[in-house]
């Protein structure tokens, strides 16, 4: 287990303990938030992969606590370069290692049930989640909620992100198609063995519904296990009551997945 430091963090939920974790990702010291029910029981592991970049889309303790209260040991990396961590994010490039190393941390965490680690990705975290499951075959299940599946599509759809993407990726898809292809899990799904649940609002303007359809179609062509929960009237963000219901439902779905 690659935990270097574990410091108690104020929890918004009295039934959940939280800690800031410093861990190794390659040669970098990276940080993340760990949340666990405040008892002595063993639970499935839940790797929460955030969206955004830098301070945009940063991990929220209340959200992590919500999943932990459903009966999981949850770990959410901040990604390199954030909250005092070393290195710099590069939008699902080398920083994917932060997710892989976080998976390994959960896998060997004392309170995580043997061979029971799930991966969840929101928004940009969808790419991170799929790549993690591809590189960690023992992943029990993958959930992508409003998740990116095609990095080139993101570049063309989100004019407001183009400057950032050119900076961190090094150029446009026209100039460096291989860099965008390498970040796009659609091209590597043959290697995925875990069942996938896709959750998406069809009116999403941040990550278009096309991302979900491309992922679903590719998985079906390859004969992979995929389930879809599509919501015609919702955007990237769901109303609080529906959000809570979906969290409960997806957690139940995860727990029902069996290691093959």
Catalytic amino acids? 123, 236
Q: Cα torsion at 111, 116, 122, 125 (round to 10°)?
A: 90
Alpha-carbon distance values, 53 to 91, 160, 228 (Å): 7, 13, 26
Rg, the chain, Cα only: 17
Q: Which helix (H) or strand (E) holds 247?
A: helix 240-256
> How many angstroms separate the CA atoms of 84 and 206, rounded?
28
Strand partners, 19: 8, 34
> How many angstroms separate the CA atoms of 125 and 142, rounded?
11
């Amino acid at each position: 287990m690659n935990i270097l430091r574990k410091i108690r963090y104020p929890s918004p939920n009295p039934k959940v303990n939280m800690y800031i974790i410093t861990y190794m990702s390659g040669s970098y010291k990276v940080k993340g938030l760990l949340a666990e029910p405040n008892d002595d029981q063993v639970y499935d592991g839940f790797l929460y992969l955030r969206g955004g970049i830098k301070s945009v889309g940063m991990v929220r303790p209340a959200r992590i606590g919500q999943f932990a209260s459903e009966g999981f040991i949850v770990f959410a990396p901040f990604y390199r370069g954030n909250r005092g961590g070393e290195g710099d994010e590069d939008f699902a490039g080398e920083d994917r290692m932060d997710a892989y190393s976080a998976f390994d941390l959960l896998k060997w965490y004392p309170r995580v049930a043997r061979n029971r680690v799930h991966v969840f990705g929101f928004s940009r975290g969808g790419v991170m989640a799929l790549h993690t499951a591809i590189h960690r075959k023992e992943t029990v299940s993958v959930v992508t909620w409003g998740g990116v599946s095609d990095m080139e599509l993101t570049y063309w759809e989100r004019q407001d992100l183009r400057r950032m993407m050119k900076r961190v990726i090094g150029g446009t898809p026209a100039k460096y198609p291989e860099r965008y292809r390498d970040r796009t899990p659609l091209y590597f799904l043959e290697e995925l063995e875990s069942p996938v649940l896709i959750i998406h609002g069809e009116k999403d303007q941040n990550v278009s519904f096309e991302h979900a359809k491309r992922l679903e179609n590719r998985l079906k062509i390859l004969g992979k296990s995929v389930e879809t929960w599509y919501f015609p009237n919702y955007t990237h963000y769901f109303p609080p009551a529906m959000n809570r219901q979906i969290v409960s439902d997806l957690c139940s779905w995860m727990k029902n997945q069996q290691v093959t």
